[in-house]
Amino acid sequence: MFHNSSQKKFWTFKNEDELEQMRCIANEKFRKKALDSAKPGIIDPMLLGRHEEDALFRYYERRLLDFCNAFKPAMPKSVVGTAIMYFRRFYLNNSVMEYHPRIIMLTCAYLSCKVDEFNVSSTQFVGNLLQETPAGQERVAEQILEYELLLIRQLNFHLVVHNPYRPMEGLLIDLKTRYPTLENPESLRKSADDFLTQAAMTDAGLVFSPSQIALTAILNSASRAGLNMESYLTECLGLKEDKETLSKMYDSMRRMKTLLKKYELPKQDEVNIYKQKLERIHAEFASSSNKRKRGYEEDGHVAKEPRLTEEDWTDEDLL
């Protein structure tokens, strides 16, 4: 359950500023490493700043969501939620410049399928990359398997993620049973679902517990429909006397709604510029440290080629 989970102990933070700090630290760490490596091509303006990283992160997160939604067979919502959470947690402690988000996002999706017991073989998984040739897909599969252990380690081996979907179901059941004032809770479901999907694209999962997110979703959709659910909180959840808790809950809900409102998809041309910078950085680092242990493949394209041409598969190949 959530109350004694690793998510609550290690991956729930006080507020968004703390998260921003962690990301800045990760950025700084990589900058230092890059500049210390004293390579001729690396200069400071070449490296990504914090807001550029953020834009790229949001862009790739969106791509991850689209990839999961287009996945065949249909991926359950919890798997999608887990994948996005992994992606988010990974880039809390690591910089986009160090590990390319393209690979990490596929690795997150793959790992989340495994953890959530949505059985997909690796071949089937990369078969969803429609723009790739089968050889290209194989290469992607290899890359995913390489990065998998890294991802798990960066998640500190805390692989269980509690998503807000089941709490939402639970709250709907509770509403139907104990709150007859509300005639048709089912009508709230659709808009609450949308709220949850949007919340997954924000830092809400790292600050609030999943049941709080679900409750906010339902209250939000109720207020959108013009229904007042205050009495649910006071009566059914037993908060009539406990004014402090009640006010705190309203406060967190307000914060969550602000988070959602703040979210915006980055502009495409900006993203393109940042992407180019990113590619350049990765090319610089990759050409010197060729981590791939190739050379045991039978077909023609073996290790001797430079890394740039390996990354034939670009973002467009994902969808």
Distance, CA of 286 to CA of 266 (rounded, Å): 27
Q: Which string of DSSP letters, residue by residue, matches 56-111?
A: HHHHHHHHHHHHHHT-SSPPPHHHHHHHHHHHHHHHHHS-TTTS-HHHHHHHHHHH
Q: Least distance from C-beta 130 to another protein, angstroms?
A: 35
Least Å from the CB of residue 214 to another protein: 7
Of 111 and 215, the one with the shorter C-beta distance to another protein is 215
In angstroms, rounded to a whole number, what is the distance separating the alpha carbons of residues 128 and 72?
7
Min separation Cβ 38 and another protein, Å: 46
Q: Smaller CB distance to another protein: residue 101 or 167?
A: 167
Q: Select 1 or 38, whichever has its Cβ closest to another protein.
A: 1
DSSP state of 302: -
* Residue 311 three-state SS: coil
Per CB under 8 A, residues contacting another protein are 1-4, 8, 162, 166-174, 176-178, 209-212, 214-215, 236-239, 245, 248-249, 251-252
Is the Cβ of residue 93 or residue 212 nearer to another protein in the bound state? Answer: 212
Per the CB < 8 A criterion, the answer to whether 110 and 122 are in contact is yes
Q: Give the residue among 213, 210, 202, 114 at the shortest CA–CA distance from 155.
A: 114
- In whole angstroms, the minimum distance from the beta carbon of 44 to another protein comes to 41
CB nearer to another protein: pick between 180 and 295: 180
**Nearest distance from residue 120's CB to another protein, in Å?**
24
